[in-house]
Amino acid sequence: MELTDNLNIHCFKPLITPDQIKEELPLDEAAAHTVASCRQAVEQILTGREGRRIVIAGPCSLHDEAAALEYARRLRGLQEEVGERVLLIMRAYFEKPRTTLGWKGMLYDPHLDGSYDIENGIRLSRKILTEIAAMGLSAATEFLDPIVPQYLADLVSWAAIGARTSESQIHRQMASGLSMPIGFKNATDGNLETALDAIRAALSSHSFLGIDRHGRVIVAETRGNKYGHLVMRGGGSGPNYTSEYVAFAEVLLRKAQIPNGLVIDCSHANSHKNYKRQREVLLDVSDQIRSGNRSIAGIMLESFLKEGKQSIGAPGGMKFGVSLTDSCIGWEETDELIRSFAESV
Protein backbone atom coordinates (compact mmCIF):
# COMPACT_ATOMS: atom_id res chain seq x y z
CA MET A 1 0.00 0.00 0.00
CA GLU A 2 1.28 3.48 -0.82
CA LEU A 3 2.58 5.38 2.20
CA THR A 4 0.58 8.45 3.23
CA ASP A 5 1.89 9.22 6.73
CA ASN A 6 5.01 10.95 8.10
CA LEU A 7 6.42 11.51 4.62
CA ASN A 8 8.44 14.55 5.69
CA ILE A 9 9.64 13.14 9.02
CA HIS A 10 13.31 12.17 8.91
CA CYS A 11 13.18 10.30 12.24
CA PHE A 12 11.54 10.20 15.66
CA LYS A 13 13.75 10.51 18.76
CA PRO A 14 12.63 9.39 22.21
CA LEU A 15 12.60 12.16 24.81
CA ILE A 16 13.01 12.11 28.57
CA THR A 17 9.65 12.46 30.37
CA PRO A 18 8.76 15.37 32.66
CA ASP A 19 8.81 13.02 35.67
CA GLN A 20 12.28 11.78 34.83
CA ILE A 21 13.73 15.27 34.44
CA LYS A 22 12.08 16.37 37.68
CA GLU A 23 13.59 13.42 39.53
CA GLU A 24 16.99 14.36 38.14
CA LEU A 25 16.56 18.09 38.88
CA PRO A 26 13.93 18.32 41.63
CA LEU A 27 12.12 21.34 43.03
CA ASP A 28 13.04 21.43 46.72
CA GLU A 29 11.04 23.00 49.53
CA ALA A 30 12.93 26.29 49.60
CA ALA A 31 12.68 26.75 45.83
CA ALA A 32 8.98 25.89 45.90
CA HIS A 33 8.46 28.60 48.52
CA THR A 34 10.34 31.13 46.36
CA VAL A 35 8.19 30.34 43.32
CA ALA A 36 4.88 30.23 45.18
CA SER A 37 5.45 33.39 47.22
CA CYS A 38 6.43 35.33 44.10
CA ARG A 39 3.33 34.15 42.25
CA GLN A 40 1.18 35.29 45.17
CA ALA A 41 2.92 38.66 45.26
CA VAL A 42 2.38 39.14 41.51
CA GLU A 43 -1.31 38.32 41.95
CA GLN A 44 -1.57 40.87 44.77
CA ILE A 45 0.16 43.56 42.68
CA LEU A 46 -1.97 42.86 39.59
CA THR A 47 -5.17 43.20 41.60
CA GLY A 48 -4.03 46.35 43.44
CA ARG A 49 -3.89 44.73 46.85
CA GLU A 50 -0.18 45.48 47.17
CA GLY A 51 1.55 48.77 46.43
CA ARG A 52 4.80 47.44 44.99
CA ARG A 53 5.45 47.15 41.25
CA ILE A 54 6.94 44.27 39.25
CA VAL A 55 10.22 44.53 37.35
CA ILE A 56 10.93 41.65 34.96
CA ALA A 57 14.55 42.10 33.89
CA GLY A 58 17.04 39.95 32.06
CA PRO A 59 18.53 39.09 28.68
CA CYS A 60 16.44 38.69 25.57
CA SER A 61 17.31 34.99 25.76
CA LEU A 62 19.69 32.81 27.76
CA HIS A 63 22.53 31.02 26.00
CA ASP A 64 25.30 30.72 28.61
CA GLU A 65 24.71 29.15 32.03
CA ALA A 66 27.60 30.93 33.76
CA ALA A 67 26.59 34.37 32.50
CA ALA A 68 22.92 33.74 33.35
CA LEU A 69 23.76 32.80 36.93
CA GLU A 70 26.11 35.76 37.36
CA TYR A 71 23.28 38.04 36.24
CA ALA A 72 20.91 36.27 38.64
CA ARG A 73 23.29 36.82 41.57
CA ARG A 74 23.48 40.53 40.81
CA LEU A 75 19.71 40.82 40.47
CA ARG A 76 19.26 38.94 43.74
CA GLY A 77 21.62 41.35 45.47
CA LEU A 78 19.69 44.31 44.11
CA GLN A 79 16.44 42.74 45.31
CA GLU A 80 17.79 42.90 48.85
CA GLU A 81 18.05 46.68 48.52
CA VAL A 82 14.87 47.60 46.63
CA GLY A 83 12.57 44.71 47.56
CA GLU A 84 10.29 46.83 49.72
CA ARG A 85 9.30 48.90 46.68
CA VAL A 86 9.61 46.56 43.67
CA LEU A 87 9.44 42.82 43.07
CA LEU A 88 12.33 41.73 40.85
CA ILE A 89 11.85 38.70 38.60
CA MET A 90 14.57 37.46 36.26
CA ARG A 91 13.72 37.13 32.60
CA ALA A 92 14.81 33.55 31.76
CA TYR A 93 13.74 32.89 28.17
CA PHE A 94 14.72 29.51 26.69
CA GLU A 95 12.49 29.54 23.59
CA LYS A 96 12.70 32.24 20.92
CA PRO A 97 10.05 32.81 18.24
CA ARG A 98 11.55 33.36 14.81
CA THR A 99 9.93 35.30 11.97
CA THR A 100 11.64 33.00 9.45
CA LEU A 101 14.81 31.14 10.49
CA GLY A 102 17.45 31.56 13.19
CA TRP A 103 18.59 30.25 16.55
CA LYS A 104 15.49 29.05 18.41
CA GLY A 105 16.85 29.28 21.93
CA MET A 106 18.77 27.27 24.50
CA LEU A 107 16.04 24.69 24.92
CA TYR A 108 16.19 23.69 21.25
CA ASP A 109 19.87 24.24 20.42
CA PRO A 110 21.94 24.43 23.61
CA HIS A 111 25.25 23.89 21.78
CA LEU A 112 24.62 26.80 19.37
CA ASP A 113 25.58 24.62 16.43
CA GLY A 114 22.32 23.52 14.83
CA SER A 115 22.50 20.05 16.43
CA TYR A 116 19.10 20.50 18.14
CA ASP A 117 20.01 18.48 21.23
CA ILE A 118 16.60 19.19 22.72
CA GLU A 119 16.85 16.74 25.61
CA ASN A 120 20.00 18.42 26.89
CA GLY A 121 18.38 21.78 26.17
CA ILE A 122 15.50 20.89 28.48
CA ARG A 123 17.95 19.61 31.09
CA LEU A 124 20.09 22.77 30.97
CA SER A 125 17.04 25.05 31.03
CA ARG A 126 15.67 23.31 34.12
CA LYS A 127 19.09 23.29 35.80
CA ILE A 128 19.38 27.07 35.38
CA LEU A 129 15.88 27.58 36.78
CA THR A 130 16.64 25.42 39.83
CA GLU A 131 19.82 27.38 40.51
CA ILE A 132 18.04 30.72 40.16
CA ALA A 133 15.36 29.54 42.60
CA ALA A 134 18.03 28.28 45.00
CA MET A 135 19.30 31.87 45.23
CA GLY A 136 15.86 32.97 46.39
CA LEU A 137 15.17 34.73 43.08
CA SER A 138 12.10 34.19 40.92
CA ALA A 139 12.08 33.58 37.16
CA ALA A 140 9.89 34.59 34.23
CA THR A 141 9.73 33.00 30.79
CA GLU A 142 7.78 32.87 27.55
CA PHE A 143 6.13 29.57 26.68
CA LEU A 144 6.01 28.70 22.98
CA ASP A 145 5.66 24.92 22.74
CA PRO A 146 2.66 23.68 24.76
CA ILE A 147 4.61 20.58 25.87
CA VAL A 148 7.42 22.58 27.51
CA PRO A 149 5.48 23.71 30.62
CA GLN A 150 5.33 20.12 31.87
CA TYR A 151 9.13 20.24 32.10
CA LEU A 152 9.68 23.77 33.47
CA ALA A 153 6.51 25.45 34.74
CA ASP A 154 6.90 24.42 38.40
CA LEU A 155 9.95 26.72 38.56
CA VAL A 156 8.38 29.74 36.82
CA SER A 157 6.65 32.57 38.72
CA TRP A 158 5.45 34.66 35.73
CA ALA A 159 5.03 33.75 32.08
CA ALA A 160 4.35 35.56 28.84
CA ILE A 161 2.43 34.68 25.72
CA GLY A 162 4.15 36.63 22.95
CA ALA A 163 2.80 39.06 20.40
CA ARG A 164 2.92 36.41 17.67
CA THR A 165 1.08 33.77 19.72
CA SER A 166 -1.51 35.73 21.73
CA GLU A 167 -4.00 35.06 18.93
CA SER A 168 -3.30 31.31 18.96
CA GLN A 169 -6.07 29.11 20.34
CA ILE A 170 -3.49 26.54 21.45
CA HIS A 171 -1.64 29.10 23.57
CA ARG A 172 -4.82 30.55 25.05
CA GLN A 173 -5.88 27.04 26.09
CA MET A 174 -2.42 26.32 27.50
CA ALA A 175 -2.49 29.56 29.51
CA SER A 176 -5.85 28.61 31.01
CA GLY A 177 -4.14 25.68 32.74
CA LEU A 178 -0.85 27.28 33.77
CA SER A 179 -0.27 27.87 37.48
CA MET A 180 1.31 31.31 37.34
CA PRO A 181 0.04 34.77 36.23
CA ILE A 182 0.23 35.14 32.44
CA GLY A 183 1.01 38.33 30.55
CA PHE A 184 -0.41 38.52 27.02
CA LYS A 185 1.42 40.89 24.71
CA ASN A 186 -0.49 43.09 22.29
CA ALA A 187 -0.20 42.10 18.62
CA THR A 188 2.84 43.13 16.56
CA ASP A 189 0.69 45.72 14.75
CA GLY A 190 -0.14 47.29 18.13
CA ASN A 191 -3.71 45.98 18.36
CA LEU A 192 -4.77 45.54 22.01
CA GLU A 193 -7.97 43.61 21.32
CA THR A 194 -6.04 40.46 20.43
CA ALA A 195 -4.49 40.35 23.89
CA LEU A 196 -7.78 41.21 25.61
CA ASP A 197 -9.53 38.39 23.75
CA ALA A 198 -6.72 36.07 24.85
CA ILE A 199 -7.06 37.11 28.50
CA ARG A 200 -10.79 36.42 28.42
CA ALA A 201 -10.30 33.10 26.64
CA ALA A 202 -7.66 31.97 29.15
CA LEU A 203 -9.99 32.86 32.02
CA SER A 204 -12.36 30.11 30.88
CA SER A 205 -11.99 26.37 31.27
CA HIS A 206 -10.79 24.35 28.28
CA SER A 207 -10.12 20.78 27.19
CA PHE A 208 -7.20 20.12 24.86
CA LEU A 209 -4.56 17.55 23.94
CA GLY A 210 -1.28 17.46 25.82
CA ILE A 211 1.09 15.22 27.74
CA ASP A 212 1.17 14.31 31.43
CA ARG A 213 4.16 13.96 33.77
CA HIS A 214 4.80 10.45 32.44
CA GLY A 215 4.89 11.60 28.81
CA ARG A 216 1.54 10.03 27.95
CA VAL A 217 -0.81 11.79 25.54
CA ILE A 218 -3.82 13.01 27.52
CA VAL A 219 -6.76 15.40 27.43
CA ALA A 220 -6.05 18.30 29.78
CA GLU A 221 -9.13 19.87 31.39
CA THR A 222 -8.38 23.29 32.88
CA ARG A 223 -9.99 25.57 35.45
CA GLY A 224 -9.01 28.85 33.77
CA ASN A 225 -6.40 31.43 34.77
CA LYS A 226 -7.70 34.41 36.78
CA TYR A 227 -4.51 36.40 36.50
CA GLY A 228 -4.16 36.97 32.77
CA HIS A 229 -3.12 40.55 32.06
CA LEU A 230 -2.09 42.89 29.26
CA VAL A 231 1.54 43.55 28.31
CA MET A 232 1.91 46.66 26.17
CA ARG A 233 4.95 46.39 23.88
CA GLY A 234 4.17 48.89 21.12
CA GLY A 235 3.40 47.99 17.53
CA GLY A 236 3.83 48.72 13.86
CA SER A 237 2.67 52.32 14.29
CA GLY A 238 5.09 52.99 17.15
CA PRO A 239 5.23 52.94 20.98
CA ASN A 240 2.16 52.65 23.23
CA TYR A 241 3.60 53.31 26.70
CA THR A 242 2.67 56.98 27.16
CA SER A 243 -0.20 58.14 29.36
CA GLU A 244 -2.76 58.54 26.56
CA TYR A 245 -2.19 54.96 25.39
CA VAL A 246 -2.33 53.67 28.96
CA ALA A 247 -5.61 55.55 29.53
CA PHE A 248 -7.04 54.03 26.34
CA ALA A 249 -5.98 50.55 27.52
CA GLU A 250 -7.65 51.18 30.89
CA VAL A 251 -10.95 51.94 29.12
CA LEU A 252 -10.70 48.75 27.07
CA LEU A 253 -9.86 46.69 30.14
CA ARG A 254 -12.87 48.06 32.02
CA LYS A 255 -15.17 47.37 29.08
CA ALA A 256 -13.81 43.83 28.86
CA GLN A 257 -14.29 43.45 32.64
CA ILE A 258 -10.66 42.53 33.14
CA PRO A 259 -9.75 43.69 36.67
CA ASN A 260 -6.00 43.06 36.54
CA GLY A 261 -3.36 45.72 36.00
CA LEU A 262 -1.06 45.95 32.99
CA VAL A 263 2.66 45.68 32.35
CA ILE A 264 4.74 47.96 30.10
CA ASP A 265 7.50 46.35 28.02
CA CYS A 266 10.30 48.91 27.76
CA SER A 267 11.82 47.12 24.78
CA HIS A 268 10.59 46.03 21.33
CA ALA A 269 8.42 48.59 19.52
CA ASN A 270 8.17 50.76 22.65
CA SER A 271 11.88 51.49 22.34
CA HIS A 272 11.76 51.64 18.53
CA LYS A 273 13.84 48.43 18.72
CA ASN A 274 16.72 50.50 20.07
CA TYR A 275 17.85 49.08 23.40
CA LYS A 276 19.29 52.43 24.49
CA ARG A 277 15.81 53.97 24.38
CA GLN A 278 14.44 51.66 27.09
CA ARG A 279 15.52 54.40 29.50
CA GLU A 280 13.00 56.81 27.93
CA VAL A 281 10.19 54.32 28.41
CA LEU A 282 11.06 53.54 32.02
CA LEU A 283 11.36 57.20 33.01
CA ASP A 284 8.03 58.04 31.37
CA VAL A 285 6.31 55.14 33.15
CA SER A 286 7.93 56.24 36.42
CA ASP A 287 6.42 59.71 35.94
CA GLN A 288 2.99 58.19 35.33
CA ILE A 289 3.24 56.24 38.58
CA ARG A 290 4.40 59.34 40.48
CA SER A 291 1.36 61.14 39.06
CA GLY A 292 -0.92 58.55 40.65
CA ASN A 293 -1.41 55.85 38.01
CA ARG A 294 -2.59 52.62 39.66
CA SER A 295 -3.15 50.40 36.62
CA ILE A 296 0.53 49.97 35.70
CA ALA A 297 1.56 46.89 37.66
CA GLY A 298 5.12 46.70 36.36
CA ILE A 299 7.66 46.89 33.58
CA MET A 300 9.89 44.62 31.50
CA LEU A 301 13.55 45.38 30.70
CA GLU A 302 15.92 43.60 28.33
CA SER A 303 19.28 43.74 30.07
CA PHE A 304 22.38 41.62 30.57
CA LEU A 305 25.85 41.90 32.06
CA LYS A 306 27.16 43.92 29.11
CA GLU A 307 25.31 46.05 26.60
CA GLY A 308 24.62 45.24 22.97
CA LYS A 309 24.39 41.89 21.21
CA GLN A 310 26.57 39.41 19.37
CA SER A 311 26.17 36.71 16.73
CA ILE A 312 26.95 33.01 16.77
CA GLY A 313 30.30 32.40 15.09
CA ALA A 314 31.46 36.01 15.32
CA PRO A 315 35.22 36.52 14.80
CA GLY A 316 37.11 36.31 18.07
CA GLY A 317 34.63 33.99 19.74
CA MET A 318 31.67 34.58 22.03
CA LYS A 319 31.83 37.45 24.53
CA PHE A 320 30.81 36.73 28.11
CA GLY A 321 27.58 38.37 29.25
CA VAL A 322 26.51 39.77 25.87
CA SER A 323 23.07 38.93 24.45
CA LEU A 324 22.83 36.53 21.53
CA THR A 325 19.48 37.79 20.24
CA ASP A 326 18.06 41.30 20.83
CA SER A 327 20.41 43.98 22.13
CA CYS A 328 20.32 44.65 25.87
CA ILE A 329 21.38 47.41 28.22
CA GLY A 330 24.34 46.57 30.49
CA TRP A 331 24.29 45.86 34.21
CA GLU A 332 25.36 49.32 35.39
CA GLU A 333 22.46 50.95 33.55
CA THR A 334 20.10 48.20 34.70
CA ASP A 335 21.03 48.85 38.33
CA GLU A 336 20.57 52.60 37.88
CA LEU A 337 17.19 52.32 36.14
CA ILE A 338 15.72 49.80 38.57
CA ARG A 339 16.73 51.98 41.53
CA SER A 340 15.17 54.98 39.79
CA PHE A 341 11.97 53.06 39.12
CA ALA A 342 11.82 51.88 42.73
CA GLU A 343 11.93 55.50 43.91
CA SER A 344 8.83 56.28 41.85
CA VAL A 345 6.69 53.63 43.56
The pLDDT score that the predictor gives to residue 238 is 96
Q: Which long-range contacts (CB under 8 A, 24 or more apart) does 305-308 make?
A: 305/67, 305/70, 305/71, 305/74, 305/330, 305/331, 306/330, 306/331, 307/275, 307/333, 308/275
State in Å, rounded, how far the first CA of the chain is from the last one. Answer: 69
Would 250 be classed as within a structural domain?
yes
The pLDDT score that the predictor gives to residue 155 is 98
Could you list the beta-strand ranges (E) of the chain. Answer: 53-58, 86-91, 138-142, 158-161, 182-185, 207-211, 217-221, 228-232, 262-265, 296-302
The pLDDT score that the predictor gives to residue 217 is 96
Name the stretches of the chain with pLDDT < 70. 99-100
Would 278 be classed as within a structural domain?
no
Find the domain containing 210 and state its range. 18-269+300-311+319-344
Would 145 be classed as within a structural domain?
yes
The pLDDT score that the predictor gives to residue 101 is 78
Q: Which long-range contacts (CB under 8 A, 24 or more apart) does 151-155 make?
A: 151/18, 151/21, 151/22, 151/122, 151/125, 151/126, 152/94, 152/122, 152/125, 152/126, 153/178, 153/179, 153/180, 154/22, 154/27, 154/32, 154/35, 154/179, 155/27, 155/31, 155/35, 155/126, 155/129, 155/130
pTM equals 0.97
Q: Are strands 296-302 and 262-265 parallel, antiparallel or unpaired?
A: parallel
Would 196 be classed as within a structural domain?
yes
The pLDDT score that the predictor gives to residue 98 is 75
DSSP 65-96: HHHHHHHHHHHHHHHHHHTTTEEEEEE-----
The pLDDT score that the predictor gives to residue 316 is 82
Would 10 be classed as within a structural domain?
no
103 three-state secondary structure: coil
Tell me how crowded residue 182 is: count the other CB atoms within 10 A of its CB.
24
User: What's the per-residue H, E or C state across 149-217?
Assistant: HHHHHHHCCEEEECCCCCCCHHHHHHHHHCCCCEEEECCCCCCCHHHHHHHHHHHCCCEEEEECCCCCE
CATH of the domain at 77: 3.20.20.70
Q: Domain count of the chain?
A: 1
Would 2 be classed as within a structural domain?
no
Would 132 be classed as within a structural domain?
yes
Would 243 be classed as within a structural domain?
yes
